Amino acid sequence: MADATVVRSFALTDKIHSLTLELPGEASPGQFLHVACGDGLLLRRPISICDAGDGAMRIVFEVKGEGTRRLAAAKEGDVLDVLGPLGHGFEAPEKGRVLLVGGGLGAAPMLLAAKKFDCDAALGFPTAERVMLLDEFAPRVGRLDVATDDGTYGKKGFVTGLVEGRLGDYAAIMACGPEPMLRALAKVCAGAPLQVSMERRMGCGVGACLVCAVKLTDGSVVRACKDGPVFRAEEVDWNG
Amino acid sequence: MADMRVSFAGVDFKNPVTVASGTFAFGREYAEYYDLSRLGGICVKGLTPLPRGGNPSPRIAETPMGMLNSVGLQNPGVDAFIRDELPFLRGFDTKIIANISAPTPEDYALMAAKLSDAGVDMIEINVSCPNVRAGGMAFGVTCEGAASVTAAVKKASSVPVMTKLSPNVTDIAEIARACEDAGADALSLINTLLGMKIDPATGVPILANNTGGLSGPAVLPVAVRMVWQAASAVKIPVMGMGGVSRAEDAAEMIWAGASLVSVGTATLADPYAPVKVLEGLEKFLDEHGLTLEGMKGRVKLH
């Protein structure tokens, strides 16, 4: 647990906010910070780490309720109570190229992955106004493909459309996004080495309270916060 | 320095601060943050005769100064606990309290026999989980139900037994007395209050189970009132819990009649909460010239 000073705070889109915190140490792509929102709000908010290095970590989140509204209102110099980095992140393949797949806010953690792996990226957003982080991905990846659901930016359609037919080129595919997208991607990627970052409402964030359950195909129920949030797609019971 | 030791149902606790079942798993996660030997005791995650996968997600919803949960007693089962978790917990100098749930009084008794043989310090009988259909709260909301399970466990157990009471009852004193009469060595309360949260825009409950158990600071006054009522009704000692997140909350519990206090939901927000409550309580007692024995149950009523 640490007090982390905000060093940069800005809106990425109308609903998405970026906070950079003074936090030393390493973070693996897919790990998250568990951030307290202040008086009166009991639970921390688990937020994927978007970037890390040089004594700082960056989180990018959707402003959705009172907690994230408060976090978005944080100014440079404010201090946040942060736990982490927590969780089990993406695993690098022994060798070979990685394809990063991000849907909406799920693009954020892939930016840190882009820094760590030799990769290409495929990103999907609902519409042009929600497209984000492209200029930061560009220098970190080989090929960068973008789709929007309504075709207002890049290719029209879902992000799954960007990856079909080219899976054989990659030693690992890593994805983060809404669960319906991950489920669709798992179908498209059947047989390919896909890792997915699962989102759940969390409590403790350290594996003790068992509220962030993810059901696996072997019938076991595991914790998104501690055993994940990243799992191999074929382990996940998508109907669970 | 205040004397923090507490003799509770014949078990000697080094201090009165324990951690509540369901908020601390089997200790491994929090052992990464501090030495578990600092705690008075650990009430382990609720155990059942066989492994349980628990309820569907979402299992948690934030509420004003609190939260709802509907985990549904996910646990590896009593045998796996004894084999895989108890040896680890026994490595710490703290009391281990096994929390048990089962579909019938006979199954409760079997678990109690296994666990007392395996060397836990106490058994906590969970007749108050609001998130499972069979067993759980069904036993805890009537005097007959709570007494039948308590009697069965008491008979089978070689260590002291403590019945954990549900707040979802009309007369907590009556249930407390029924458990005492059935042989309980102690009581713990409160378990969570049955609650519900609905997404105001969609009309859909946040929890996949629709309802869940309310905990956190929001329930503290309810818990203090019920601890006072239960402790006043019985001679056996009481472990007070429900919304304790600061030393002052623990002090309220003790005035109300609790010999031990348990920190639960506060740990989810701050892993160090139990240690902070303990250290804070020690300081609080010294600053106010109070002692645990001098406060216990001595609320100065109007």
Question: Cβ contacts (< 8 Å) between A211 and chain B: which residues?
Answer: 57-60, 69, 71
Find out whether B231 and A6 touch, Cβ atoms under 8 Å. no
pLDDT digits (tens, 9 = 90+) for A42-69: 999 999 999 999 999 999 999 999 999 9
Answer whether A203 sits within 8 Å of B62, measured CB to CB. Answer: no
Question: Given CB atoms, is A92 within the 8 Å cutoff of chain B?
Answer: no
Question: Given CB atoms, is B71 within the 8 Å cutoff of chain A?
Answer: yes
Residue A228 C-alpha, separation from nearest chain B C-alpha, in angstroms: 15
Among chain B residues, the shortest Cα distance to A240 is held by: B56
Find out whether A175 and A197 touch, Cβ atoms under 8 Å. yes
Answer whether B74 sits within 8 Å of A210, measured CB to CB. Answer: yes
Find out whether B164 and B99 touch, Cβ atoms under 8 Å. yes
Answer whether A221 sits within 8 Å of B216, measured CB to CB. Answer: no
Residue A168's pLDDT band (cuts 50, 70, 90): confident
Give the integer Cα–Cα distance in Å for A73 and A76: 10
Question: Given CB atoms, is A134 within the 8 Å cutoff of chain B?
Answer: no
Of residues A31 and A239, the one with the higher pLDDT is: A31
Question: Cβ contacts (< 8 Å) between A1 and chain B: which residues?
Answer: 33, 270-272
Active site residues of B: 129
Angle at B56 (CA atoms; ends B54, B60), nearest 5 degrees: 90
pLDDT digits (tens, 9 = 90+) for A112-157: 999 999 999 999 999 999 999 999 999 999 999 999 999 999 999 9
Answer whether B67 sits within 8 Å of A226, measured CB to CB. Answer: no
Find out whether B130 and B137 touch, Cβ atoms under 8 Å. yes
In order along its 302 residues, chain B shows pLDDT tens digits of 789 999 999 999 999 999 999 999 999 999 999 999 999 999 999 999 999 999 999 999 999 999 999 999 999 999 999 999 999 999 999 999 999 999 999 999 999 999 999 999 999 999 987 777 666 677 889 999 999 999 999 999 999 999 999 999 999 999 999 999 999 999 999 999 999 999 999 999 999 999 999 999 999 999 999 999 999 999 999 999 999 999 999 999 999 999 999 999 999 999 999 999 999 999 999 999 999 999 999 999 99
Find out whether B277 and B248 touch, Cβ atoms under 8 Å. no
Among chain A residues, the shortest Cα distance to B272 is held by: A1
Predicted pLDDT of residue A27? 96
Question: Given CB atoms, is B45 within the 8 Å cutoff of chain A?
Answer: yes
In DSSP terms, A194 is beta-bridged to A173
Find out whether A17 and A80 touch, Cβ atoms under 8 Å. no
In DSSP terms, B126 is beta-bridged to B164
Best residue of A81, A210, A212, A216 to probe chain B, by most B CBs closer than 10 Å? A210
Question: Given CB atoms, is A75 within the 8 Å cutoff of chain B?
Answer: no
Find out whether A61 and A109 touch, Cβ atoms under 8 Å. no
Question: Cβ contacts (< 8 Å) between A200 and chain B: which residues?
Answer: 57-58
Answer whether B66 sits within 8 Å of A203, measured CB to CB. Answer: no
Predicted pLDDT of residue A141? 96
Domains and CATH numbers, chain B: 6-295 (3.20.20.70)
Residue A91 C-alpha, separation from nearest chain B C-alpha, in angstroms: 22
Predicted pLDDT of residue A1? 77
The residues near A11 (Cβ < 8 Å, ≥ 6 apart) are A17, A18, A72
Q: What is the reported pTM?
A: 0.94
The residues near B98 (Cβ < 8 Å, ≥ 6 apart) are B44, B47, B81, B115, B120, B122, B123, B124
Domains and CATH numbers, chain A: 2-86 (2.40.30.10), 98-197 (3.40.50.80)
Question: Given CB atoms, is A221 within the 8 Å cutoff of chain B?
Answer: yes
Predicted complex ipTM: 0.92
Predicted pLDDT of residue B175? 97
Question: Cβ contacts (< 8 Å) between B195 and chain A: which residues?
Answer: none
Side-chain half-sphere CA neighbours of A149 within 13 A: 8
Predicted pLDDT of residue B1? 79
Predicted pLDDT of residue B138? 79
Q: Residue B55, SS3?
A: coil
Predicted pLDDT of residue A182? 97
Predicted pLDDT of residue B128? 81
